Amino acid sequence: MMTVSKKTYDLLFRLILVGDSCVGKSSILLRFSEDIFPTFISTIGVDFKVKTVEVNGKKIKLQIWDTAGGERFHTIVHTYYRGKNGIMLVYDITDEKTFEHITGNWLRNVLEHANEDVILMLLGNKCDLDDQRMVSKERGESFAQENGLKFLETSAKTNINVETAVMTLVEDILEKYPESGQASNNVDPAKNKNIEKSICFC
Ligand code: GTP
C-alpha cells in the first residue's frame, strides 16, 4: 500500500547559528526549540532542530542548524552556510574575543560561502551577565548597522529575546523573499545530518 504524506507546513526556512565555541549557540537553539536551558553540552560538527511557527497565516517549518564553534570544525562548518535563508552570528557579551572574531572572521566567512540573498542577524548572548560585560550594546549595534545586520542582545539562560530574535529573522526573510522556502525547494534534511554531542568544560 502506498502512503501519501500530508504536508503540514507552507514554507521551509533553513537557519543556522555560527560563532565561537561557548558563546551559547546550542543554548539559544534549545531555548527556542524546547524552552530548556541545558548545561554542559558542546556541539561536535553540526546538528539541527525543527520547529514550526506561524507568521501571517503561513505555517513555516524552521530547520535550525547549530554548528560547533571550535577551530577544528571551521572547515566543515562553512560548507553548511549554503542554502540557508538566515544566519545568526553569535558572540558572548562577556568575552571580547568572541566579538572580535565576528567582526574579523565569521562575517567574512559567511559572506564568502552563504547564498547572496541570505539574511544575517547579530546576537550578543549572555546579556544576563551584565556585571561581566566586555562588549557594550552600542558596539554591537553600530557594527550591525555598518554591515546591514539586524541586532539583538539575548540570554538563553534567562530567556531574553531568544524567540524575538528567531521570529524577527523569519519575518525579515518572509518580507524580503516571500517566494523562498517553497515546498519544491525542499530536500530531506536528515540526509545531511552529522551529529555528535559531548561534554563541554567552558
Ligand atoms: P560550542 O558547541 O562549543 O560551539 O558552544 P556553544 O556556542 O553552542 O555554547 P553552549 O550553548 O554550549 O554554551 C556554552 C556555555 O555558556 C554553557 O556553560 C552554557 O550554560 C553557557 N550559556 C549559554 N547561554 C548563556 C546565557 O545566555 N547566559 C549565561 N549566563 N550562560 C550561558
Give the number of other CB atoms < 10 A from CB of residue 56: 9
SS3 92: strand
Q: Whose CA is nearest to atom 22 of ligand 1?
A: 24
* pLDDT tens by residue, 36-78: 998 766 666 678 999 999 999 999 999 999 988 777 777 777 8
Nearest-10 Cα torsion for 34, 50, 164, 16? 120
Phi and psi at 182, nearest 5°, equal -65, 155
Q: Please, what are the domains in the chain?
A: 11-180 (3.40.50.300)
Cut 0.85: pTM above it:
yes
Within 6 A (CB) of ligand 1 lie 21-27, 39, 41-43, 68-70, 125-126, 128-129, 155-157, 200, 202
* pLDDT tens by residue, 85-133: 999 999 999 999 999 999 999 999 999 999 999 999 999 999 999 999 9
Q: Whole-number mean pLDDT of the chain?
A: 86
Cell numbers linked to 77: 562548518
